[in-house]
């Protein structure tokens, strides 16, 4: 069974109320439930974690080594400056798909650079909650190719 870990960074626990014009009105629990249902229907297991602390995300990425087949990661603000998260991704050996609710390339200049982009499989951004679902769809496609 394919094992997927979904990691969310700082302030994503406030989804649904934090700047809904940018991030939408769905809560993180709403997004997680949609993903859980889709993953289970495809025969995958899925686990979720959110932290406002960089080290906790680094620990989760490292712990996924040998345990998860894929990570879907919204590193939030850490995307733009966390070399620690970048290095954890590079060391873990688990394929990571970077996701963002908003299109980071259409926002403030400081959000245009992702320091994790060079070490992830790909980046999906700008589609709200569907960014997560698109990442999950990629994983499901790959699962089906390997059956």
Span between the terminal Cα atoms of the chain, in Å: 11
Mean pLDDT of the chain: 94
Structure tokens given for 97: 């798909």
* Domain ranges, residue 15: 3-145
Torsion, Cα 11 12 17 22, to 10 degrees, reads 100
- The mean per-residue pLDDT over the stretch 60-65 comes to 98
- Which listed residue (80, 100, 105, 112) is catalytic? 100
The total number of structural domains in the chain stands at 1
- The mean per-residue pLDDT over the stretch 17-28 comes to 83
Please state, in angstroms and as integers, the Cα–Cα distance from residue 51 to each residue in 41, 48, 109, 121, 137, following that order: 27, 10, 25, 22, 24
Is 105 a known active-site residue? no
In angstroms, rounded to a whole number, what is the distance separating the alpha carbons of residues 32 and 90? 25
Q: Name the nearest CA neighbour of 95 among 50, 56, 141, 55.
A: 141
pTM above the 0.85 mark?
Answer: yes
Q: Which residue has the higher pLDDT, 23 or 66?
A: 66
Q: What CATH number does the domain containing 22 carry?
A: 3.40.50.9100
Structure tokens given for 61: 């990425």
In angstroms, rounded to a whole number, what is the distance separating the alpha carbons of residues 60 and 71? 10
Is 100 a known active-site residue? yes
- Which listed residue (23, 53, 70, 112) is catalytic? 23
Residue whose token pair is 């700008």? 126
Residue 40 pLDDT > 90: yes
Task: Say if strands 45-50 and 70-74 run parallel, antiparallel, or are unpaired.
Answer: unpaired
């Amino acid at each position: 069974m394919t094992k997927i870990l979904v990691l969310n960074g700082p302030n994503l626990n406030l989804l649904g109320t934090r700047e809904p014009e940018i991030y939408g009105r769905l809560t993180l629990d709403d997004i997680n439930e949609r993903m859980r249902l889709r993953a289970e229907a495809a025969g995958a297991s899925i686990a979720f974690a959110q932290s406002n602390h960089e080290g906790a995300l680094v620990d989760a990425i490292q712990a996924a080594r040998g345990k998860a087949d894929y990570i879907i990661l919204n590193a939030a603000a850490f995307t733009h400056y966390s070399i620690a998260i970048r290095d954890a991704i590079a060391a873990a050996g688990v394929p990571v798909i970077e996701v963002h609710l908003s299109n980071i390339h259409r926002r403030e200049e400081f959000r245009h650079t992702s320091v994790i982009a060079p070490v992830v499989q790909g980046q999906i951004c700008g589609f709200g909650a569907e960014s997560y679902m698109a990442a999950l769809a990629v994983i499901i496609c790959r699962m089906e190719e390997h059956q």
